[in-house]
Structure 1
Amino acid sequence: MSGFEVALSPVNLLFVAIGVLVGTIVGLLPGLGPTASLALLLPLTFSLEPATAIIMLAGIYYGTMYGGRIPAILLRLPGDSSSVMTTLDGYPMTQQGRAGPALGITAIGSFLGGTVAIIGLTFLAPVVANFASSIGAPEMFALTVVGVMMISLLGSGSTWKAIAIAGLGILVSVVGLDPIDGTQRLTFGSIELSGGIDIVPIAVGLFGLGEIFHSMETGAHEALKSTKLGRILPTRVDWLRSRFAILRSSILGFFVGLMPGGGGTISSVLAYGMEKRISKRPKKFGKGAVEGLAATETADNASSNSAFIPLLTLGIPPNAVLAVIYGALLLQNITPGPELINEEPDVFWGVIASMYIGNVLLLILNLPLIAAFVQILRIPGYVLNPIIVVVALLGVYSVNNTMFDVYVAIVFGVLGYLLKKWRFDLGPFILGFILGPIMEVQFRRAMLMSDGSLGIFVERPVSLAMFIVVAIAISFTVINFLRSRRTGRQTAGSRVMHAVTHSDEYAEEVREDSLLDDGSETELEAGTDSAATGEPAAGGPERIPSGTGASEARPDSPEKPTTAVRKAPPPLDQQQ
């Protein structure tokens, strides 16, 4: 009950409401997504008390989660990878004139899924914290390795790109002073870099400014045209079709959220596939199936809330969004981990209790205010984007009152734009940046414990089991890579064999068709240069203009026209 005493205080109640409202408004801006929205709003919490700051950030978190679904449903503009699943049935419902019920079932499913996850979080978090308090440096190092590898392997996009970008994040994290002996690393003589690079300018630049720069180039943020919402609450038929999908997806999303890297994307995909397989009308999925939309949103919200368990109890952020919240906790001089429940009980239980309140506020605010939120989407991007950039840079400056942070944010904004353009997933970068120092410190502590022997990692059962998980995950990735390459080679080989098989026959036909009655060769063989330049070959006939039939003789051409050249046989895949 102490958590509710903290969460229900007037100040905390006010800030969780502000967090939910502001998070929803910022989250619905197309292209930003929860991570970018949270990074942009992070500076708002620096002047608050630790418990109030984290409660507000939690409200912003699930506010942005719901807000990002509005452009995904109305404009088919997903703000993050998990929102892609929302567009599959949400946008078709909008096209059918059922945008209101689509937004309504999203709000209700998110509320129910979040509530189930928060109940599980309440009972499971203390158990995990007690277990985590008994593990040492080797286990913590193994756990961070599992987190980085699973996030890289299970993330969206290319696996190798994800691993490379996670490595880049770890490299950036070592800039500054050595945590053990204080040696300067990668500072290049800069006083500012000797203190390391703060997470705020990196998060704001990489996710916030980078996304905005990319949307400016691609024109992703287009103003919403006239869209009729209709009734907001789902119909009785919608509810009957969705009720069991919501129940199943709540449970599935809760357990997926406990895994490193098992955030909203994986839970949404698994829930959608499960419901499509169970459904009596699977062909309706992708064409406006309300149960498909309810399943993805419920699982997404459930996994997002249960992901707080490894963050608060183990100190391991399981996804990029919670990595930003992890950084906010560090800025408040709070270190997430097994001792948080004992050292900062007000923060631990206050955050969990605020989730109940925030989830209710999210439902109360969003159902009646959906129509008002939609009006924000009618503001063109060329008006909103410059305002967001200026406010974000002002927020970055306010953290340490130094222009160096602003320059860092701009540099990482350009880097985020380029990585987005080159189709890199940015999530592994911020996770590598957060987990890199933890990996280093825990590894060096383990080496001190074992006098430099690596055998300590296989002598302890927990760390051994975690490294076995990493080895299995890497093995599956390599096997799938080799299998895909083999499949590609077989496909390419079949095409080559098809071409070789038909080459002799095709060459003979072309040879016959290219010969005139007097035995001389046509322009096809005698004038290859003319075919490229458009000029007639020396001593050869004038080239027939494009669009003229091959059998039509020109006034100055021979009486007998050349025979039309036959087309090459179609590729194998077209024949099939």
Structure 2
Amino acid sequence: MDLLNNLMIGFGVAFTPENLTYALVGCLLGTLVGVLPGLGPVPTIAMLLPITYVLPPIAGLIMLAGIYYGTQYGGSTTAILVNLPGETSSVVTVLDGHAMAKNGRAGAALAIAGMGSFFAGSVATMLIAAFAPPLAELAFKFGPAEYFSLMVLGLVGAVVLASGSLLKAICMILLGLLLGMVGTDVNSGVARYDFGIPELQDGIGFAIVAMGVFGFAEIMTNLELKENRVELDAKIGSLYPNKQEFQESWPAVVRGTAIGSLLGILPGGGAVLSSFAAYTVEKKLSKNPERFGKGHPAGLAGPEAANNAGAQTSFIPLLTLGIPSNAVMALMVGAMTIHNIQPGPQVMTSHPQLFWGLIASMWIGNLMLIVLNLPLIGIWVKLLKVPYRILFPAILVFCTIGVYSLSYNTFDIVVTVIFGIIGYLWSKLKCEGAPLLLGLVLGPLMEENFRRALLLSRGNFMTFLDRPLSASLLGVAALLVVIVALPSIKKKREEAFVED
């Protein structure tokens, strides 16, 4: 009964004209970002983060959340129609989605992707509503030692699930932790690592790093690519799947929803990992694996359901524990702190309208996306014909204005450009920016809880092992390190991420 009452509160908040408008704006922007290759949710949310200063907290979060799960819809449209994944999680969609389009079933492929995404998004939203309250109750029992151990587990999980080299992921997280230490020490009031620069005494702005590493660096990377001349080489046709396509796709949708819901909660998980895992599972379970890559509906339905479920359940650790599970959730932490809202279990009690309004808006947003996307397919494909040389100056100006509006200081623009250049070099070296962002967000929180735990235990480091929950979390983190170091697991991990 409490769940129904809470959902009624949420829908009451989400159904206001203002919040419906921002949900629609977020869904449209998300679809646009998903359609256009080379943008993605992280740089887009980083660019729009300063806008949330002038928006009410719930409106800003609803818009940013809509952008995130909207990208999953948009990416599938171009992946199916023109063999061009607009978003990383849509790389797998290309394999069977575009093959269906070439076989004359483009409309059916779009419908399968849309309906699978809507089902997965709806189920994931209900999971958030059902499991968030008990998890938040558990989180209230956490002390500083447990929070520190949980963040260690989160960072270790992010390393294990990061694509590419383990060593590079570890280095990026450590660098993020070091950047988080720049500024004035809260306990002693002493400035640290500011090199005598007054602007660094308040630390390096989270949005500045995100905008540089993901926004500016992304522009530089995309300018190297040749212009894509997009031609729609497949007729859309009927939007109704036939009986065989429906029978082959719905079990994959259910399995994809389950996989995405689970992997979305894990640190470093989310839409990308979920879509790859779902495709692998469908191929393993299929009686005709040779059909995959040639237009098998299950190869499209499973990953599409998984990436949407993963995108939405990644909100669970953020809203209940205050721990971001991926780079987008780290940006959401930034959006919440802009409004002096501390992510974690207290959000549910101190800001119930924000918490339940955000959850209700997810269901509304998924409904908006399926209603909007299928009729507007022609418009989205035409947008792909806009040359990037026309788009990038507008994106660059928008980024610069956003950075300047944070504190009206030109120093922030200089720092953003520096991080943009560094981010570009990292992309050349195949170093992911997401672990750095997680380290930067969690670093100050880890330090604060580490110090608080030691103060309460009078300097006894064994407090992290004496408390059963803290010791269990550290034990799981250590076990993950040992498992991923095993040669057989290491080889399978490299194979899993080779396509990414």
TM-score, length basis structure 1:
0.81
User: What pairs with 1:326-345 in structure 2 (closer than 5 Å)?
Assistant: 326-345=333-352
CA separation of 1:118 and 1:328: change in aligned 2, threshold 3 A: same
Report if aligned partners of 2:92, 2:275 keep a CA contact under 8 Å in 1: yes
Aligned to 1:176: 183
SS at match of 1:368: coil
Aligned to 1:223: 229
User: What pairs with 1:248-397 in structure 2 (closer than 5 Å)?
Assistant: 248-397=255-404
CA separation of 1:20 and 1:33: change in aligned 2, threshold 3 A: same
Aligned to 2:5: none
Distance (whole Å) between structure 2 residues aligned to residue 185 and residue 290 of structure 1: 56
Report if aligned partners of 1:232, 1:367 keep a CA contact under 8 Å in 2: no
Of structures 1 and 2, the one with the larger relative CO (CA 8 A, separation 6+) is: 2
For 1:169, the aligned partner's letter is G
CA separation of 1:146 and 1:75: change in aligned 2, threshold 3 A: farther
Q: Could you list the runs of 4 or more consecutive aligned residues of structure 1 that deviate by over 6 angstroms after TM superposition?
A: 481-484
SS at match of 2:237: coil
CA separation of 1:77 and 1:193: change in aligned 2, threshold 3 A: farther
Is 1:426 matched up with 2:438?
A: no
Superimposed CA distance per residue, residues 516-555 of structure 1 (whole angstroms, 9 cap, x where no aligned partner): xxxxxxxxxxxxxxxxxxxxxxxxxxxxxxxxxxxxxxxx
Q: How many residues get paired? A: 483
Distance (whole Å) between structure 1 residues aligned to residue 488 and residue 443 of structure 2: 27
Distance (whole Å) between structure 2 residues aligned to residue 479 and residue 314 of structure 1: 30
Report if aligned partners of 2:403, 2:413 keep a CA contact under 8 Å in 1: yes
Distance (whole Å) between structure 2 residues aligned to residue 122 and residue 139 of structure 1: 24
Superimposed CA distance per residue, residues 52-95 of structure 1 (whole angstroms, 9 cap, x where no aligned partner): 11111111211122223334334544455433222222333344
Is 1:43 matched up with 2:50?
A: yes
CA-based RMSD of the aligned residues comes to 1.8
* Structure 1 unmatched runs, 5+: 485-576
Distance (whole Å) between structure 1 residues aligned to residue 69 and residue 406 of structure 2: 24
Aligned to 1:164: 171
Deviation at 1:187, TM superposition (A): 0.6
Distance (whole Å) between structure 2 residues aligned to residue 80 and residue 440 of structure 1: 34
CA separation of 1:64 and 1:218: change in aligned 2, threshold 3 A: same
Deviation at 1:274, TM superposition (A): 1.6
Q: 2:473 aligns with which of 466, 475, 488?
A: 466
Q: 2:111 aligns with which of 104, 113, 116?
A: 104
Deviation at 1:386, TM superposition (A): 1.9
User: What pairs with 1:400-549 in structure 2 (closer than 5 Å)?
Assistant: 400-480=407-487
Counting aligned pairs with the same residue, the percent is 45
Higher helix share: 2
Superimposed CA distance per residue, residues 473-528 of structure 1 (whole angstroms, 9 cap, x where no aligned partner): 111222228986xxxxxxxxxxxxxxxxxxxxxxxxxxxxxxxxxxxxxxxxxxxx
For 2:350, the aligned partner's letter is E
Distance (whole Å) between structure 1 residues aligned to residue 235 and residue 115 of structure 2: 16
Q: 2:21 aligns with which of 11, 14, 25?
A: 14
Aligned to 2:209: 202
Distance (whole Å) between structure 1 residues aligned to residue 235 and residue 26 of structure 2: 25
Stretch moving more, 254-263 or 440-449: 254-263
Report if aligned partners of 1:103, 1:232 keep a CA contact under 8 Å in 2: no
Report if aligned partners of 1:7, 1:351 keep a CA contact under 8 Å in 2: yes
For 2:272, the aligned partner's letter is T
Distance (whole Å) between structure 2 residues aligned to residue 310 and residue 482 of structure 1: 26
Report if aligned partners of 1:74, 1:99 keep a CA contact under 8 Å in 2: yes
Report if aligned partners of 2:82, 2:231 keep a CA contact under 8 Å in 1: no
Report if aligned partners of 1:34, 1:65 keep a CA contact under 8 Å in 2: no
Distance (whole Å) between structure 1 residues aligned to residue 237 and residue 124 of structure 2: 29
Deviation at 1:110, TM superposition (A): 1.1
For 2:187, the aligned partner's letter is I
Distance (whole Å) between structure 1 residues aligned to residue 387 and residue 75 of structure 2: 17
CA separation of 1:480 and 1:3: change in aligned 2, threshold 3 A: same
For 2:265, the aligned partner's letter is L
CA separation of 1:148 and 1:483: change in aligned 2, threshold 3 A: closer
Report if aligned partners of 1:34, 1:68 keep a CA contact under 8 Å in 2: no
